[in-house]
Structure formats: C-alpha cells, structure tokens
Structure 1
Amino acid sequence: MDQTESLVSRVGIKIFVQQNLSNSPILSRIVRVLKKFIWPDSYVFHNLSIANSYWLRYSKPLDVVITISQPFSTHLIGLLLKLKNPKICWIADIGDNYSENPTNSLYPLFRPLMKYYEKRILIKSDFIVFNSEFIKTYYLSKYLLDSNKIHIIPNGSAIDFTHFYKLHSDHLILSYIGNTYEPVRNGVRELGLLLQALSMSGMDLEKIEIWLVGKQCDALIAFIQQMKWVKIVYCDSESDLLTIYQKTNILLNFANINYPGLPSKLDEYKQSGLPIINFYFGSDDPAINYLGNEEHILNFKLENQEPSMLISFIEKYRNFHFKQVGLEDGIDTLWLELIKKTNQ
C-alpha cells in the first residue's frame, strides 16, 4: 500500500485518507461513531458481498462451509447460506465471545440484537469450534447447546518452528508478541512489575530490551513513552516474525483482565520452545492450563507474588531453549476428524 494512504475503516468499501490526515481527531471520531451503529460489526457489508458471490457462483447442495471469527459478521455468511440451503454443513469457528466482549464498540442499545445473533449462530450451525475448554464452558453456561456438536481445536501457529534456531544478540530481549486492548488486556501492570524487578536486579539495563510486537493500546504506549529500552516493533511477514522469535530470550504473556478467551499467540509461544513468563490474575485463567507446568514456564500471579521471582526466572532461563523434537500440535488431525463427521 502507498505510504501516503492509510486504511481507516471498511464498511463494504475501503475508505482511504492521506497519511497526514490519518491521525486527525475529527476523522478518528467519525470512524468511531460509525462503528457504534454498524451491526453486527463494520465488516458486515463486506461479508454480505462474499455470501452473495459464493451463493451465485460456487454454491453446491452438499457443501461444507466454515466461517471463522473475528470479525463476528463472518458467521452471517453461514446463517444466510443455511437459510437458503438447509442441506449444507456449516462449521462455525468462534475464537472470542461476541455479545459480552468488552472491546465491542457497538452502542448498548444493540445488546439484545447481539445476543440474538450470537445465539442463532450457536444453534443453527451444525458444528461449533472453540479454541479452549474455557470458552466452551463459558458458552455452555450461557446458552442451552448440544455439547456433542462442540469441538475444541486450538488456533495453531503461523510459524513453522521445525528448524528453529536462536540468533545471537548482545542484549537480553524479552518480547510480548500480540496486540493489547482496553479494557481487556493493556499490559501496563505487567510491564510495571517487570521494569521494577529489572531495576532492582543489578542487571545492566543498557543490555536489556523489551519488545512489544504488534498494535499496542494507548495506555501502554503512554506508559512506556520515556523508556528507551522498551520498543514497539512491527513485522509485515512470517519471516520477520520468525526472526523476532529467534532473537528473543524470554516471551511475555500479558493477563486478560475481564475476558475468558485464550490469547491467539499461545500456540506459537509453546511451539517456539522459548521460556515464557505468563502473567495472570486468577487461577481460572485458561492460559495456565494451556501452557502447562513445563520447567521453562513461569505462571506469575500479579496480585500477590514478589517481583524477585521474575528476576530468578530471567537469570536462570535467559539462555535457555527447549528443543522440541518431532513437535506435533495435532491441529490438522483434529480438523480432519471434524471434516469426516460432516459426511456422516
């Protein structure tokens, strides 16, 4: 994309503006207001066009259709196709909750519609895929669902770690890979504790870097503004992301404050074989069970554990890499087993 253009929003069409206007408070406010009124989300017209194109050009009576969120309006494709042709098999892959998601920008007056839409997807789909048992438990407690049609399949990794090797760096690099959001996961408390611990450790701070890889929320950006050894890093390809993993000594996972989902990058984290500091608030955080009790994983409770534990872990595992031979995540097998069921 031309550097003078910036994608602001997609509402069936792409709205581009000159880069020198992309940070305009007025423009940003217009976009935010628009998103508050577009139900189920701002990608709805785009997904309606996909549903129409598929139905007119490609649809066959016994098709298997898989819709994946986010965005949640993707599942509208499945609802419409199922309405037109009840014989199709529809698999809804749902990674996040919708109607009670704290990041949802719709006005509260849309809440009844959001719940109705969410429920219709869960009931009308032939199979449902969740990425963790925690999300499954959440939805079973919220709606009366047939548990036999629910399958747990993790997100998987975009990176192939088969021939993974470490790249030398003169710095100790701790990386958080992923996005932060208000109010779900802002990383401020975690980073504050980590910086406090490092400052008390006696380590040479000039030889330490913390990388925040992805789109970070305003609160976190403001918090690190004067910290030259904390860097926001962007990558545009899988090879760039692999290089970041290769240079990283220890991975950081920030805690979800008020959301039951499993961070999408945890599959990559596990497969990398790198040490992980997993911050959490409560023992019901799904990341704890998902990551397991490996020696190179520290589950650190934010409210009542001493920062000194962080230093002990960092000093012990800063040069550690767990070489995972013949690593299999089993995701391909899980999907193949599910696809076989669609033919029964």
Structure 2
Amino acid sequence: MDRKILIISYYWPPAGGPGVQRWLKFSKYLPEFGYEPHVYIPKNPSYPIVDTSLLSEISPEVKIIKKSIWEPYGIAEKLSKKNKDFKAGQFESKKKQGILSRLSVFIRGNFFIPDARKFWIKPSIKYLEKYIKNNQIDLIITSGPPHSMHLIGLGLKEKMPNIKWIADFRDPWTQISYYSQLSLTQYSDKKHKKLERKVMSNADIILSTSYSDKENFEKLGAKEVFCITNGFDSEILDANRSLKTDKFTLAYIGMLETLRNPDNLWKALEVLLKQHPDFKADFQLKFVGKIAESILDDLGDTIIIDNMVNKGYLSHSESIQEMNNSNILLITNFPEDKSKGIIPGKLFEYLATGKTILSIGPKDSDVSKIINYTHTGEHFTYDEIDSLKFFLLSEYEKWKNQIYPRTSEKINDFHRKNLTEKLVQVIKKH
C-alpha cells in the first residue's frame, strides 16, 4: 500500500511562474517511489500570473482537494494597481514607491501577518484535521511562501502531535530581501519572527532550496534541515534546441523587478554597442516575462532600445523555446550579501538548455557555486563592468565562429526525478 502524503500549497496550476513548479513536479514523480500525493489548494485563488498550459502536467495519480479562500487583494488592487506586483513578491525600492503604494505595503506587512492568505489558516486546520484522519495520512508537507501555509501545518501539528510535518521554504521568511521593504512596526517585526521561530522549532523537518538558507534555518532553531534545490524536468531536454541563431541573443526569462536590476550590465552593453558596430549589428537583448516598467523606461532612454525585444509573458512551454533560441541566458539576484542563498528556479531550466549562463549577484552566492560546479557560465557582482564587457565580447566571438558550449553531465543532479528520490530519502528517515 502506498504511503499517503498531504501537500498544502497555495500555488498550483493554472498558477504560472516559478512557485508552482516545485510541488507540481515532486507530485508527478512521488508515485514512482510508492507515495500517494494528496494536494490541498484554494478553490478560488488570486494568482498574479496564470499559465493554463501547466494544467496538462498534473499527474492523474494526484488527488486534489480544494477549499474556498477569502483574500483582500481585490480591495487592495483597487487602492493601487501596484498591489498585483506586490502579491507576486515584486517590490520596488521605497524611494520609487508612490504614496498609495507605500500605504499598501505598510498595510500588507503590519495588518496581514504573515501574509494576506492568513484568513485561510483556521478553516483549513479544521477541515484538514478530519481529512487526515479519514484518509489515514501520516505525513503533511507545507509549501511557502505564502507562509500562511506553514501556519496551517503548525496548527495541525499542535492538534495532532503524532503526525509528521515537513515545512518546505521555497523562499525564506524574515530573511528574504524584500522583508526590509515592508515598513514593519517593531511589534509586527517581532510577530513575524516569533511565528517563524515557532514553525522552525515545531516542524519535524525543514526543507530549504539553497545551501545558505539551510545554514540560516539551522541558526533559527530548526530541528533538522535538508537542502533540496529546485530543478528541471524532461520537457526542457526534449524541446527543440537551436544552436545557430540569427542574432547573438542575450535573454532574460521571467520576472525582473527594480531591486534586481543589473545596471552594470546595461552600462557594459551601452559601451559595446557604441564602440563595436559589428556587435551592434548582430546583438539582441530579449525579455520574456514581466519586467518592471521602471527598468523598461530606463532602457528606453539608452541606445540599447534599438537592439531590444520585449515578448511579454509567455506560457512555460513557449518560454522554454525562447531559452533554446538564445545564446546567453541572464539571471540576476539582489545585490545584498543576505541574498546569497537565493537560487531562482529558472537557473535549473537554464542549465538544462545547455546555453551559457550569465549571472549577476552577490559574491560567493549559491547560484555561482552551481554554475561553477556544472561549468555552465560566469558569475559577476554588481560592481563589475569591464569584466562583463570582456565576457560578452568573448561569447560574441564564439557565436560568430559557431563555437557552441558543451552540455555538462553534472546537470543531471538537478533533474526533478533525481531530486524527488532525494526527497524520498529524507522522508524515509522519519
């Protein structure tokens, strides 16, 4: 008989973006290892991004449970259209926020703790307590953010002490970069941190998606922490790959907010486009996804605009094709040292394409460790410009001479099936 697992998640298809991928893929492979996934999700969620193509990726062996949720985002978005961005964790720096945006952020951080999905906690605990008993489930997994999901797990653990609970942090709670942008009062800051420590100390296992987060969670009092990164799945390996492209294309796929804007890259590109006519004739900067308006406005005032293509949000399958039709794939992180542990999910899809990766972020970041381990690109800090120019010109010369990167066998460590096997090994310890 398969062991039953209850996965509590806010994000699930048709939700788009990277947050949905992790447990969609784990649940796909868990049955192969003798586990029956039950997934609890909201019936009427307010997703910032929708991608209906992901519905086809839900395994028929997954049992879906839905319960209605009330969220205040409809009201919030009437107050300020920026709230749709905040809902997705897309923050601008305080100095660029208008009065209504600052007010909305203040309300979000101080009145909705840990987040605006808090109203789903109590009814979910009541409903799931019965469901767990009726279906003989002995392991629950909560996936956050939103961290309200972890408070559902905490409530169930308090009512059912014998149940095993894994809290999976796709992103940190109080240690995430935009936490400082929430304009928290001293009381609210203490409340966030108190709830975080309570989750850390009561969950049987904490999962992190990065090596640095694992260390930080241990410092917060977690019993046992295991790092299982995100990964890629077979559809990326199976997609049509373009070795030769009509343009030497640098692509950014996904969401890019102001706080992760690589100004030094744009400066390097401006110089190259002005000084090298052949580079300007062949180069293309391609955006696929949601790019902050402020970034697009700034680029619009530079020479880069002549070589820029913005395709907007595309489905996951279309985005993969755009990765394959590029030469260099750009990934950026927040510049602060405390962001070293952030590993955007798209990194692993980038790895699977075999394309060269250009990473910009803090020194000695977890992203740079993975790129170095797999020999798939170069990492730069936000202070570097000359080295960036050299890298881009070097890659451009390779493109002109049709010298293509070799796919590293080490990327297989990050295939979703291999990562699910790693998850199963963690579960079996309990």
TM-score normalised by length of structure 1? 0.82
Q: 2:172 aligns with which of 90, 94, 97?
A: 97
Task: Name 2:20's counterpart in structure 1.
Answer: none
Contact 1:278 1:300 in 2 (8 A): yes
Alpha-carbon offset, residue 169 of structure 1 = 4.2
Q: 1:53 aligns with which of 122, 127, 131?
A: 127
Alpha-carbon offset, residue 187 of structure 1 = 2.4
Alpha-carbon offset, residue 276 of structure 1 = 0.9
Q: 1:143 aligns with which of 217, 220, 225?
A: 220
Q: What is the alpha-carbon distance in structure 1 between the residues aligned to residue 324 and residue 313 of structure 2?
A: 14
Deviates further, 127-136 or 10-19: 10-19
What secondary structure does 1:278 align onto? Answer: strand
What secondary structure does 1:277 align onto? Answer: strand
Summarize deviations over 1:131-179 as a string: whole Å, max 9, x none.
1211112233x42443xx2111011226622323324642222111232
- Matched to 1:124, the amino acid is N
Task: Name 2:197's counterpart in structure 1.
Answer: 119
Closer/same/farther in 2, CA of residues 316 and 178 from structure 1, 3 Å limit: same
- Matched to 1:73, the amino acid is S
Structure 1 runs not aligned, ≥5 long: none
Report whether the alignment pairs 1:76 with 2:151. Answer: yes
- Matched to 1:246, the amino acid is N
Closer/same/farther in 2, CA of residues 199 and 315 from structure 1, 3 Å limit: farther
Identity in percent: 22
Q: 2:248 aligns with which of 172, 177, 180?
A: 172
Contact 2:240 2:321 in 1 (8 A): no
Report whether the alignment pairs 1:339 with 2:427. Answer: yes
Task: Name 1:277's counterpart in structure 2.
Answer: 358
Q: What is the alpha-carbon distance in structure 1 between the residues aligned to residue 142 and residue 127 of structure 2?
A: 15
Task: Name 1:292's counterpart in structure 2.
Answer: 372
Alpha-carbon offset, residue 285 of structure 1 = 1.4
What secondary structure does 1:298 align onto? Answer: strand
Q: 1:313 aligns with which of 359, 370, 395?
A: 395
Alpha-carbon offset, residue 191 of structure 1 = 2.9
Q: What is the alpha-carbon distance in structure 2 between the residues aligned to residue 47 and residue 189 of structure 1?
A: 43
- Matched to 1:247, the amino acid is N
Higher helix proportion: 2
- The list of structure 1 runs, each at least 4 consecutive aligned residues, that deviate by more than 6 angstroms after superposition, is 6-10, 16-19, 23-27
Equivalenced residues, count:
332
Task: Name 1:40's counterpart in structure 2.
Answer: 114
Deviates further, 265-274 or 103-112: 103-112
Alpha-carbon offset, residue 268 of structure 1 = 1.2
Task: Name 2:71's counterpart in structure 1.
Answer: 12
Closer/same/farther in 2, CA of residues 234 and 336 from structure 1, 3 Å limit: farther
Q: What is the alpha-carbon distance in structure 2 between the residues aligned to residue 117 and residue 79 of structure 1?
A: 10
Alpha-carbon offset, residue 311 of structure 1 = 1.2
Contact 1:153 1:334 in 2 (8 A): yes
Alpha-carbon offset, residue 88 of structure 1 = 1.0
Closer/same/farther in 2, CA of residues 72 and 158 from structure 1, 3 Å limit: farther
Q: What is the alpha-carbon distance in structure 2 between the residues aligned to residue 83 and residue 42 of structure 1?
A: 23
Closer/same/farther in 2, CA of residues 61 and 18 from structure 1, 3 Å limit: closer
Map 1:154-303 onto structure 2 (within 5 A).
154-157=229-232, 160-167=235-242, 169-183=245-259, 185-226=260-301, 227-258=305-336, 259-260=339-340, 261-282=342-363, 284-292=364-372, 294=374, 296-303=376-383
Closer/same/farther in 2, CA of residues 199 and 312 from structure 1, 3 Å limit: farther
Contact 2:264 2:383 in 1 (8 A): no
Deviates further, 27-36 or 231-240: 27-36
Summarize deviations over 1:66-86 as a string: whole Å, max 9, x none.
111121222111111111111
Contact 1:11 1:44 in 2 (8 A): no
Closer/same/farther in 2, CA of residues 107 and 296 from structure 1, 3 Å limit: closer
Cα RMSD of the aligned pairs, angstroms, is 3.3
Contact 1:131 1:153 in 2 (8 A): yes
Q: 1:322 aligns with which of 406, 412, 423?
A: 406
Summarize deviations over 1:247-281 as a string: whole Å, max 9, x none.
11111122421223222221111122111112234
Contact 2:217 2:225 in 1 (8 A): no
Structure 2 runs not aligned, ≥5 long: 1-13, 15-45, 50-68, 84-97
- Matched to 2:297, the amino acid is A
- Matched to 1:197, the amino acid is L
Alpha-carbon offset, residue 336 of structure 1 = 1.5
Closer/same/farther in 2, CA of residues 192 and 42 from structure 1, 3 Å limit: farther
What secondary structure does 2:285 align onto? Answer: strand
